[in-house]
Structure 1
Amino acid sequence: MSGERVGAAVTWGLLGAWVVHDLEELATVPGRLRRNVPQLRKRFPQVPERVWRRAETLGAAEFATAVGVMGAIVGTASAAGRLTGGRSGLYQSALTGFGLHGVMHMAQAAAVRGYTPGSVTSPLVVLPFTLWARGRLRKAGVLRPPRPRDAVAGTAAAAAATVASHVVARRLLGAARRTS
């Protein structure tokens, strides 16, 4: 262990990088998704029909609410990282999941041979921040050694958080509609 401190830029930087990335998604996902579902459905027939139906009904308010819920999750992970000097398993898993999320965006863009929401900030923000933060954690001697199961766990955690964010958003908006 080198004893070097992990600064706030490493831990709170996860939240900052996430905000920049999700601003791109907020600006592009709902409308682009609805417009492109017919072509995507034809191009990727192996995707279950219920996924396409859900994509067609995703509105801007629900997406923005889900992004807010995810922001709370990423903020919690960043705070845990800050409080533990980067040692937090939650923080390191979130950092891993964030980086893998960026790789997935780039893979999506390659699969459709064009722009997909999130594919601009992934190589410009997500991956550089993730690699830099992991380097700082490594220098400080607090980065857990990389293991394939951590990549799987990070991806699963990111997917679960995404699904949970959308479930919470749908419920929150449904409750708001019922009370108005």
Structure 2
Amino acid sequence: MSSERTWPPVPALPSKPSPCAPSPAVTLGLFAAWALHDAEEVAFGPRWVRENVPTLRKRFPRVPEKVWRALEGVTQREFTAAVGVMAVIVGSAVVSGHRTGGRSAYFQAVLDGFGLHGLMHLAQAAAVRGYTPGSATSPVLVLPFTLWARGRLRRAGVLRPATPGGAARGIALAAAATVVSHGVARRLIER
């Protein structure tokens, strides 16, 4: 018996998958859904910001000027690098979820954050009364995938209960991952 410990601790998986175990499409599908969604953001994000921030400044004068400057300061190169960093974060959650048959709290928090992120895109589109990057794939990919995956996890008996605290953790994780992604991306492109 090995004295090595893995961190975080991962429960041993049965040698044969349980008939109730969620399909790998649940865990691996998160990465695919995320990649398609973020492809939309990479394709349209920075250009949309450049073209729309002047109008948004006038429409939303209570938003602090430093927020607008920060948005305008994100180049296509930085944004693309940040998406690459986010791929590592989402990928690590997918691996954790796949290894644990979907039981991983980290995987489920990222899945929840992904779905809530989709709702935030729709809220942004409603606020500007038009398209915002990410709002096209949110209703047809992000939200349906999240609901489908949560349903599969529920049927397998491994879904953690939905709570306001869980939703807050999902949003906080998504926000923290975004901040980290952009911070790392800035350092990478400054080299």
Q: TM-score w.r.t. structure 2 length?
A: 0.89
Which residue is 1:70 aligned to? 86
Which piece of structure 1 moves more, 3-12 or 115-124?
A: 3-12
> Which residue identity lines up with residue 114 of structure 1 in the other structure?
G
Which residue is 2:21 aligned to? 5
Distance in 2, matches of 1:42 and 1:25, equals 24
Note if 1:154 corresponds to 2:174.
no
Which residue is 1:100 aligned to? 116
Spell out structure 1 runs of 4+ moving beyond 2 A: none
Give yes or no for contact 1:22–1:118 (8 Å, CA) kept in 2. Answer: yes
> Which residue identity lines up with residue 156 of structure 2 in the other structure?
A
Q: Equivalences for 1:12-23 in 2 at 5 Å? A: 12-23=28-39
Distance in 1, matches of 2:80 and 2:27, equals 24
Distance in 2, matches of 1:166 and 1:43, equals 26
Which residue is 1:168 aligned to? 184
Q: Deviations 1:143-162 (Å, cap 9, x if unpaired)?
A: 00111000011001100100
Q: Which of the two has greater helix per residue?
A: 1
Shift of 1:50: 1.1
Distance in 1, matches of 2:160 and 2:98, equals 16
> Which residue identity lines up with residue 42 of structure 2 in the other structure?
L
Distance in 2, matches of 1:170 and 1:80, equals 27
Which residue is 1:178 aligned to? none
Q: TM-score w.r.t. structure 1 length?
A: 0.94
Shift of 1:142: 0.1
Tell me how large the CA RMSD over aligned residues is. 1.0
Shift of 1:37: 0.8
Shift of 1:3: 5.4
Shift of 1:46: 2.0
Distance in 1, matches of 2:53 and 2:98, equals 40
Distance in 1, matches of 2:157 and 2:121, equals 30
> Which residue identity lines up with residue 101 of structure 2 in the other structure?
G
- Structure possessing the higher radius of gyration over alpha carbons: 2
